[in-house]
Amino acid sequence: MNSNPAPWWRGAVFYQVYPRSFSDSNGDGEGDLVGIIKRLDYLVSLSVDAIWLSPFYKSPLADGGYDVSDPRSVDPRFGTLEDFRNLIQESHALGLRVVVDIVPNHFSSEHPWFQQALNSAVGSKERARFHFRDGSGADGATPPNNWLSVFGGRAWTQVQERDGSVGQWYLHVFDASQPDLNWDNPEVRADFEETLRFWLDLGVDGFRIDVAHGMYKDPTFADHPDPQGLAEAIRLDLVDDEESLDGNTKVLRELIQTAPYFDRDEVHGVYREWRKVLDSYSHDPVTVAEAWVYPPARAARYVREDELSQIFNFEFLVAPWKANAIKRAIQSTLNSMAEVGASATWVLSNHDSPRVVSRLGERRARAMALIAQALPGSLYVFQGEELGLPDAQIPDSARQDPVWFRTEGEQLGRDGCRVPLPWLEQGDSFGFASAESGFEGAQPQAPWLPQPSDWGRYSVATQVTHEDSFLWLYRRALGIRRQHPALGWRQGDFTFLESAPEGVVAFRRDPRFVCIANTNAQSSRVTLNGPVLLIASAGDVQIDGDLVTLPPDTTAWFEVGS
Ligand code: NOJ
């Protein structure tokens, strides 16, 4: 038997901080690292184990910082390296681990490498770090192939050559300001290993890997048979709420599997190399892959024993509020992860997807949260999810997401879930700026994305005074999750209660824990023995002997006999 204790991350709760929108210490309208430090106590009070920081590296922020121009630095808008050191130190002192993003598919076009490539000749070693190709047609004005950007428009942009000759084209699967790196180039591989070590040496506890299924391309660069359909399928995948794996979803996912720039086998070689780097550190850093790949067996390949630790579970994230779909997402996740000995992750929202409350409605979002928090594995909570924030309406003139610009307004993009958090009921920024919250700081400028005028009712200050608030549900449930011996990660202790009626998701975790979710529009009855602990997402749960009646759209947790 393996006597090693399970690594810390297998059952951990990760709280995703989107630094630009979390807490603004200097009043410039954008959040920053010092702002996060000031709010660490809040995260402790939520019983989370780790924070994952979306990028805070030097960047023109054309794609919210996922366009990195210096991966081993802090952008002055977010603070300094010294601030980051303090953040690590103070987090660790409070028992919070810190995970950071790494963005290997592309750099920002402002990265010195890309600037050098633009200034260098066709065929130079500077160009060989990216994917530069000649165009076709007499004047080279037709892109090298028909691939389209995931964000809309072409995946190629033509450059101007300094000597006046016909310009080459470079590949960008995302925005034109995000040129794709050439992972066949050893310089690229070496540079990312240096980045891993740089942050690990500063004490980070792991990495979230952006577009972890990207990096390698079909080396033939052949045309795709349906580039438009493919790009739309990839965009829609984020917002799909059809019954999973039925009809449209299945077609979309099959199309995604044909992407010539995603999920190529070569990428696994990189993760095996990275793993060696990570294993040379003794604090057991975690790696979590952002990889929208299908079918689940392909996803499991990223978390084989000698590769990454975890992969985000997007099937669960997009599952509609239907018992069968939820059960299917849970079962397929557990099966595919068990095949490679990995633990599952449960995610309800992130900075790329509609907020849960906007997707499901508030009552169901509460109920879904209690399901997610009771499942075996680790949990990712996106900032503001614990406040029940909906997506904000953004005036078109304020939008920032490249998806909005590149689809020419056809897709609104992701700004709605990225609006700065409300900490106070009142104030020009609802306490997002430190000065308003009673910390020191300059008189604030307006937040970088406008907060809706009713944002105060979702604020932390308002919710802490109401025990039936969203925030209290999260606090209580995460508190129980941390204490209860059945919750978090335990291998092989999960069973669906097959006796549950139609429309009810019920499962048992040992010892003595049962979670029941009623997705029906009417009350449902379930037989249980000996409820002690009871926490419900909404409504009145009635208990009559061993008969439990659950109102519609409600989840409840029970402690039962053995
Ligand atoms: C996934 C990130 O989460 C998203 O925000 C970003 O736009 C793309 N990758 C490109 O880096």
Burial call 357-388: b when 16+ CB within 10 Å, e when fewer: bbbbeebbbbbbbbbbbbbbbbbbbbbbbbbb
Tell me the CA–centroid distance for residue 473 and ligand 1, in Å. Answer: 30
Give the number of the atom of ligand 1 that is nearest the alpha carbon of residue 414. Answer: 5
Most informative mutation of 102, 107, 210 for ligand 1 (most atoms within 8 A of CB): 210
Give the number of the atom of ligand 1 that is nearest the alpha carbon of residue 66. Answer: 11
- 180 CB near ligand 1 (under 6 Å): no
Check 290, 385, 401, 553 and give the catalytic one: 290
pLDDT for res 334? 94
pLDDT in tens, 7-18: 999 999 999 999
Ligand 1, atom 11: closest residue by C-alpha: 66
- pLDDT band at residue 238 using 50, 70 and 90 as cut-offs: low
Q: Say which DSSP state 456 is in.
A: G
pLDDT in tens, 34-70: 999 999 999 999 999 999 999 999 999 999 999 999 9
The top-scoring range by mean pLDDT among 136-140, 212-216, 532-536 is: 212-216
For the chain, the distance separating the N- and C-terminal CA atoms, rounded to the nearest angstrom, is 25
pLDDT in tens, 278-291: 999 999 999 999 99
Q: Angle, to 10 degrees, between the axis of helix 362-374 and the axis of helix 470-483? A: 10
Tell me the CA–centroid distance for residue 351 and ligand 1, in Å. Answer: 9
Most informative mutation of 63, 99, 404 for ligand 1 (most atoms within 8 A of CB): 63
- 352 CB near ligand 1 (under 6 Å): yes
pLDDT for res 94? 98
pLDDT exceeds 50 at position 240? no
> Residue 297 is encoded by which pair of tokens?
């067996």
pLDDT in tens, 152-198: 999 999 999 989 899 999 999 999 999 999 999 999 999 999 999 99
Burial call 503-535: b when 16+ CB within 10 Å, e when fewer: bbbbbbbeebbbbbbbbbeeebebebeebeeeb
Tell me the CA–centroid distance for residue 62 and ligand 1, in Å. Answer: 11
Closest CA to 22 of 434, 421, 380, 471: 421
- 211 CB near ligand 1 (under 6 Å): yes
- 210 CB near ligand 1 (under 6 Å): yes
Quick check: is 210 catalytic? yes
Q: Say which DSSP state 133 is in.
A: E
Q: What percent of the chain has pLDDT over 90?
A: 86
- 78 CB near ligand 1 (under 6 Å): no
Measure the CA dihedral 35/40/41/44, to 10°.
Answer: 150
Closest CA to 253 of 236, 274, 278: 236
Closest CA to 16 of 44, 42, 39, 48: 48
Quick check: is 223 catalytic? no
- pLDDT band at residue 545 using 50, 70 and 90 as cut-offs: confident
pLDDT for res 491? 67
Q: Report whether 435 contacts 442 (CB < 8 A).
A: yes
pLDDT in tens, 265-322: 999 999 999 999 999 999 999 999 999 998 888 999 999 999 999 999 988 998 999 9
Using DSSP, state whether 496 is helix, strand or coil. strand
pLDDT exceeds 90 at position 323? yes
- 419 CB near ligand 1 (under 6 Å): no
pLDDT in tens, 372-393: 999 999 999 999 999 999 999 9
Tell me the CA–centroid distance for residue 528 and ligand 1, in Å. Answer: 44
> Residue 5 is encoded by which pair of tokens?
């204790």
pLDDT exceeds 90 at position 138? no
Q: What is the mean pLDDT of the chain?
A: 94
Tell me the CA–centroid distance for residue 557 and ligand 1, in Å. Answer: 35
Give the number of the atom of ligand 1 that is nearest the alpha carbon of residue 103. Answer: 11
pLDDT for res 69? 98
Q: CA angle 535-541-546, nearest 5°? A: 100
Residues pairing with 556 in the sheet: 516, 536
C-alpha–C-alpha distance, residues 315 and 337, integer Å:
13
